[in-house]
Structure 1
Amino acid sequence: MKLVEIAGRKVSPLGIGTWNIGNDAQKEKMEVDAISLGLNEGIQVIDTAEMYGDGKSELLVGKTIKNFPRENLFLISKVLPENASRDKLPTSLDKTLMRLQVDQIDLYLLHWQGSVPIEETVMAMEEMKKVGKIKSWGVSNFDTNDLKKLFELPFGKNCPANQVKYNVADRGIEYDLIPFMKKNNMPLIAYSPILKANISDLDHKKKAILKEIADHHQASIFQILLAWTIRDGHTISIPKSGNSQHMKENADSVNITLNEFELSKIDSVFSKPQSKQRLALW
């Protein structure tokens, strides 16, 4: 397993996504157990956001991580664009810190761009870094030109990461975004890496190739999809799982290395982009 460097830390290429986790009180124990299992398996990155369940995901993460050494974790949360002003961002951040029951977040992301000027958000982020409430800040759902504009701003190059949608079916970012990020030593945080766990819509040929590769590795198709996203050593993949069995499968996927022949077979049915494509969302 090759660790990924992000914001001065080296972490596992697999993280834990928390979209839709914490919304159902009856599932709380199951979800806490699943996240705990992932952390015990060596996963460090937990990705959440104030938007997820209107803070419920952060609350559940906070309950879970109380039982783990803080220094072993890499916590990511995200601020909504309407809260990303110099006036509102500190309040949003304080609420997130309270829900997570921590004093500092490792990486605080702008969830997507809104009406608040990015210059103002950057200054708000820098102020929060200065007072020690965040170690670093980054962005989410930024395309190549968005990053270029960001880098032109004062402190813009302090952004160490970008989180976007990436999986075998959504490969548009390979055309120019991933090359630009690699050139600037910026790791990718990939959300929806396993097609939202829904492969039923794939045609027979695609499923057959993925199953053939999975059988060769004595793995599941979902594990192959995860292994594919982290194949370059510059990506942190953040699948969501509120189920311990699936969490164990996810954690084990870091031990799968796809060979060139297998990667070419995947390329044969999930094409690389030949031109610029609109950024995939949600």
Structure 2
Amino acid sequence: MRTLELSANEKIPVLGLGTWRMGEEPGSRKAEVAAVRTAIAMGLRLIDTAEMYGEGGAEEVVGQAIAEALRAGDVRREELFVVSKVYPHNASRKGTPAACARSLARLGLDRIDLYLLHWRGEHPLDQTCEAMRRLVDDGRIGRWGVSNFDTGDMDELAAVCGEPLDCAANQVYYSMSERGPEFSLLPWQRERGLPLMAYSPIDQGALAGDAALKKMAERLGVTAAQLALAWVVAQPGVVAIPKAVREAHLRDNLAAAELRLSAEDLAEIDRLHPPPRGKKPLAMI
């Protein structure tokens, strides 16, 4: 699978596994753990979660799946790249390390590879930045970043934390039908070599039913969902983290990451879902 440079010595896959809405129902726990295990067995190495998802339940699902995979010898810890996020109301100087400790316990890990501020909240950015850097220094996280930050937020983050900015990534809603980040945010991040992690890259499944996209996908021998996902990972500097539980969807996603779109394909997609002509508010879910 293609990779994207996260730092001078670290690369991440352009496709990962999202876990939003996992860990919410005890009755679904077994199936969700099995889904993460299957994803790992298929070769997915980037797993995204958050303390918000299921109020820690998703981290527990991920942690159990990783523990089982490690015991079975399916993967080595250093091959996995685990992302989690801190609630904004926890992101103070003292609250951030405490929240991180709870996430580490639920995940059963001694380090989170990338730890994000889930969205802006009540605590000043300089406090969160300071706390994140201390967690890096302590070895409890590998890198830190943000989520749901628009261009103005990134400008403020850079002003407060200094440049070159050691923030490693920004995770936002980005899909073929939500192309707002392309106007100013994505160029801002590309200029600084800061990856954009796209959540809901298939628009929460809505693009799978897009009639015009289906016709185009049929010509290419793929599904509309695969075409939508392939388009996202084709964007320079972008990583996609779609959620998938069913094995068939996991396989489809992996295949989509290998699909190469021609210049003509990309131009047709621009006609179906045009790029933004002006600044739009950043979409969030």
Q: Answer yes or no: same fold by TM over 0.5.
A: yes
> Does structure 1 residue 238 correspond to structure 2 residue 241?
yes
The equivalent of 2:262 in structure 1 is 259
Q: Which of 229, 233, 236 is the equivalent residue of 2:232? A: 229
Distance, in Å, in 2 between the alignment partners of 1:21 and 1:233 is 29
Deviations 1:63-115 (A, max 9, x none): 00112321011010000010000111111100000000000000000000011
Amino acid at match of 1:256: L
Greater mean alpha carbon deviation, residues 79-88 or residues 226-235: 226-235
The residue correspondences of 1:9-88 to structure 2 (distance < 5 A) are 9-66=10-67, 67-68=69-70, 69-88=76-95
Contact 2:207–2:228 (CA under 8 A) maintained in structure 1 = no
Between the two proteins, what is the percent identity of the paired residues? 39
Distance, in Å, in 2 between the alignment partners of 1:263 and 1:209 is 14
Distance, in Å, in 2 between the alignment partners of 1:85 and 1:39 is 33
Greater mean alpha carbon deviation, residues 163-172 or residues 141-150: 141-150
Contact 1:37–1:248 (CA under 8 A) maintained in structure 2 = no
Q: Which of 136, 146, 150 is the equivalent residue of 2:153? A: 146
> Does structure 1 residue 4 correspond to structure 2 residue 12?
no
Contact 2:183–2:276 (CA under 8 A) maintained in structure 1 = yes
Distance, in Å, in 2 between the alignment partners of 1:175 and 1:213 is 25
The equivalent of 2:96 in structure 1 is 89
Distance, in Å, in 2 between the alignment partners of 1:252 and 1:30 is 22
The equivalent of 1:209 in structure 2 is 212
The equivalent of 1:166 in structure 2 is 174
Structure 1 position 187, deviation (Å): 0.7
Greater mean alpha carbon deviation, residues 170-179 or residues 29-38: 29-38
Contact 1:38–1:251 (CA under 8 A) maintained in structure 2 = no
Amino acid at match of 1:180: W
Structure 1 position 232, deviation (Å): 2.3
Partner SS state of residue 246, structure 1: helix
Contact 2:84–2:112 (CA under 8 A) maintained in structure 1 = yes
> Does structure 1 residue 179 correspond to structure 2 residue 187?
yes
Distance, in Å, in 1 between the alignment partners of 2:265 and 2:139 is 45
Distance, in Å, in 2 between the alignment partners of 1:90 and 1:218 is 48
Amino acid at match of 1:177: L
The equivalent of 1:122 in structure 2 is 129
Distance, in Å, in 2 between the alignment partners of 1:251 and 1:26 is 27
Count of aligned positions: 277
Deviations 1:6-49 (A, max 9, x none): 24422221110000112223322322222222222222111100
In structure 1, stretches of 5+ residues that fail to align are none
Amino acid at match of 1:13: V
Amino acid at match of 1:158: D
Partner SS state of residue 77, structure 1: strand
Which stretches of structure 1, 4 residues or longer, exceed 3 Å deviation after superposition? Answer: none
Q: Select the structure with the greater relative contact order (CA < 8 A; seq sep ≥ 6).
A: 1
Greater mean alpha carbon deviation, residues 9-18 or residues 106-115: 9-18
Greater mean alpha carbon deviation, residues 223-232 or residues 30-39: 30-39
> CA RMSD for the aligned pairs?
1.5
Partner SS state of residue 142, structure 2: coil
Q: Which of 137, 144, 155 is the equivalent residue of 2:144? A: 137
Structure 1 position 219, deviation (Å): 1.5
Partner SS state of residue 85, structure 2: strand
Amino acid at match of 2:168: P
Structure 1 position 264, deviation (Å): 1.2
Amino acid at match of 1:61: V
Distance, in Å, in 2 between the alignment partners of 1:11 and 1:175 is 25
The equivalent of 2:273 in structure 1 is 270
Greater mean alpha carbon deviation, residues 8-17 or residues 70-79: 8-17
Structure 1 position 127, deviation (Å): 1.0
In structure 2, stretches of 5+ residues that fail to align are 71-75
Distance, in Å, in 2 between the alignment partners of 1:40 and 1:155 is 40
